């Protein structure tokens, strides 16, 4: 069959790499793709923000499954447009993608269906929000309701910080995404990510991961899209995983059906393991980046078959198999990221790195310039390794990083420290 993957990051490279290995595949395309994806798929320059253009292109190229990587086209209804045109697509409709598109919607759903999450209020008015902070009398987190490219969350240590965040967001710091805000209880505990394929009320667990959001070693410095990840997350014991499925994931799938917003695709729960049990921090309606780069290499079953089963609603028929290995991904980014950075420096040693045991190098912001791979973004590579445990995966991944010659790039040297200690 012919498949189109939408997106251009490391997540989409991992999806293309997995799908490319499927015996069901005839031809794989990726729009727009990147310099590394070009090895697994034909990259096509297609305006993926234009739903009609994507539909037309899929018709011309006889696409039988579209896999949408990022949240923006999902929230903008790309899956709806494809389905209306009779083109199967993996991912939620806009009505279901609201789980990520509106934090206020997600919080109200949790309240209505008794899904454990931080106590919260939703506000359009600054004085009401500040009242809430005063009455709460504890640390709070202030969040823009809508999509803000991962930047719309402020962890506030003091009431003064909370008031400043409330004023800034309601004054338009994040544009329309911050017309409404959520103010919520500041939870403490260990954070883990959990993934499940969902079709209506059908739920198929897809594993756990932990990522490193801060740019610097020791989890310091500004937040980024993610500087590394590993899977599975040792903190999520089988008992906790069962609790997450029964108290959070399954009730959400059921609630979305009841609300007339049945979910299809991958549900990515950001969780806090608190002293009183796992609580939902946020939902994403797509795979994580770089979490996808550590989930896909652990999957023994055929990825394309599994994604199709989610799209078709036959998740109960899937024979899910996983390698018992740990996967660990180190993100190499351009110096300066998450601030300003230069583009187009050449990257060497990629082939030598990829030959090391257990290693796969996923590309994010790269372009192919003849035989040369050049940096073309902030997060540039996801150097991933499988190992029998976190320690081995970490050693293999850093050996691969050290085989790559890219003086204009950097990475953290402590990815996976928690898992190695576990």
Residue 12 in contact with ligand GLY, rule: CB under 6 A: no
Residue 118 in contact with ligand AMP, rule: CB under 6 A: yes
Residue 186 in contact with ligand AMP, rule: CB under 6 A: yes
CB of 287 to ligand AMP, least distance (A): 15
Unique residue bearing structure tokens 């579209």: 66
Residue 408 in contact with ligand AMP, rule: CB under 6 A: no
Q: Which of residues 141 and 397 has its CB atom nearest to ligand AMP in the complex?
A: 141
Q: Which of residues 225 and 262 has its CB atom nearest to ligand GLY in the complex?
A: 225
Minimal CB distance to ligand AMP: which residue? 282
* Residues 166-185 as x/- pattern, contact with ligand AMP by CB under 6 A: ------------------xx
Q: Prior bond to 290 cis, omega within 30?
A: yes
Residue 385, SS3 per DSSP: strand
CB of 398 to ligand AMP, least distance (A): 25
Q: Which of 248, 132, 244 is nearest to 181 (CA)?
A: 132
Asked whether the beta carbons of 269 and 262 are under 8 A apart, the reply is no
Look up residue 153 and give its two tokens.
């969350």
List the one residue from 25, 153, 164, 257 that touches ligand AMP (CB under 6 A): 153
For 418, other C-beta atoms within 10 Å of its C-beta total 17
Residue 226 in contact with ligand GLY, rule: CB under 6 A: yes
List the one residue from 4, 30, 141, 196 that touches ligand AMP (CB under 6 A): 141
Q: Which of residues 331 and 420 has its CB atom nearest to ligand GLY in the complex?
A: 331
Cα torsion for 384, 237, 323, 246, to the nearest 10°? -110
Which of the listed partners (ligand GLY, ligand AMP, none) does 187 bind, with a CB threshold of 5 to 8 Å by partner kind?
ligand AMP
* Residues 263-302 as x/- pattern, contact with ligand GLY by CB under 6 A: ---------------------x---xx-x-----------
CA distance 201 to 21: 29
Cα torsion for 72, 298, 400, 25, to the nearest 10°? -70
CB of 358 to ligand AMP, least distance (A): 28
What is the residue-wise DSSP string for 212-277? --EEETTTEEEE-S-SEEEES-TTS-HHHHHHHIIIIIHHHHHHHHHTT---EEEEEEEEEEETTE
Residue 181, SS3 per DSSP: strand
Which of the listed partners (ligand GLY, ligand AMP, none) does 191 bind, with a CB threshold of 5 to 8 Å by partner kind?
ligand AMP
Helix H or strand E encompassing 3: strand 2-7
Residue 211 in contact with ligand GLY, rule: CB under 6 A: yes
- Residues within the interface to ligand AMP (CB under 6 A): 118, 141, 143, 153, 155, 184-187, 191, 270, 281-282
- Residues within the interface to ligand GLY (CB under 6 A): 211, 225-226, 284, 288-289, 291
């Amino acid at each position: 069959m012919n498949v189109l993957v939408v997106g251009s990051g490391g997540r989409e490279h991992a999806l293309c790499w997995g799908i490319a290995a499927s015996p069901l595949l005839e031809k794989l395309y990726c729009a727009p793709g990147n310099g590394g994806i070009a090895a697994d798929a034909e990259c096509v320059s297609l305006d993926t923000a234009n739903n009609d253009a994507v539909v037309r292109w899929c018709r011309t190229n006889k696409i039988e499954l579209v896999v949408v990587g990022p949240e923006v086209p999902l929230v903008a209804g790309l899956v709806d447009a494809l389905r209306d045109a009779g083109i199967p697509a993996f991912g939620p409709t806009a009505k279901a993608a609201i789980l990520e598109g509106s934090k206020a919607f997600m919080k109200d759903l949790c309240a209505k269906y008794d899904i454990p999450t931080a106590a919260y209020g939703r506000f359009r008015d600054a004085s009401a929000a500040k009242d809430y902070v005063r009455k709460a009398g504890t640390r709070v987190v202030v969040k823009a309701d809508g999509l803000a490219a991962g930047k719309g969350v402020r962890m506030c240590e003091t009431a003064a910080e909370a008031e400043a965040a409330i004023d800034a967001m309601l004054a338009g710091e994040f544009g329309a995404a911050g017309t409404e805000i959520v103010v919520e209880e500041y939870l403490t505990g260990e954070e883990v990510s959990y993934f499940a394929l969902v079709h209506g009320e059908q739920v198929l667990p897809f594993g756990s991961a932990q990522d490193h959001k801060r740019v610097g070693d020791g989890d310091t410095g500004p937040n980024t899209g993610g500087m590394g990840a590993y899977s599975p997350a040792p903190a999520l014991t089988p008992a906790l995983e069962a609790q997450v499925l029964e108290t959070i994931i399954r009730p959400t799938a059921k609630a979305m059906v009841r609300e007339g917003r049945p979910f299809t695709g991958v549900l990515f729960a950001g969780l806090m393991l608190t002293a009183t049990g796992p609580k939902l921090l946020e939902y994403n309606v797509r795979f994580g980046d770089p979490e996808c780069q550590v989930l896909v290499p652990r999957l023994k079953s055929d990825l394309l078959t599994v994604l199709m089963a989610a799209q078709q609603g036959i998740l109960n028929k899937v024979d899910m198999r996983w390698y018992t290995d740990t996967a660990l991904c180190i993100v190499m980014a351009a110096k300066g990221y998450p601030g300003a950075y230069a583009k187009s420096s050449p990257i060497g040693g990629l082939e030598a790195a990829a030959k090391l045991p257990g290693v796969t190098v996923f590309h994010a912001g790269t372009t192919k310039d003849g035989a040369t791979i050049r940096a073309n973004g902030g997060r540039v590579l996801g150097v991933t390794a499988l190992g029998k445990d976190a320690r081995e995966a970490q050693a293999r991944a850093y050996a691969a990083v050290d085989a790559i010659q890219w003086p204009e790039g950097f990475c953290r040297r402590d990815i996976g420290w928690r898992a190695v200690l576990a």
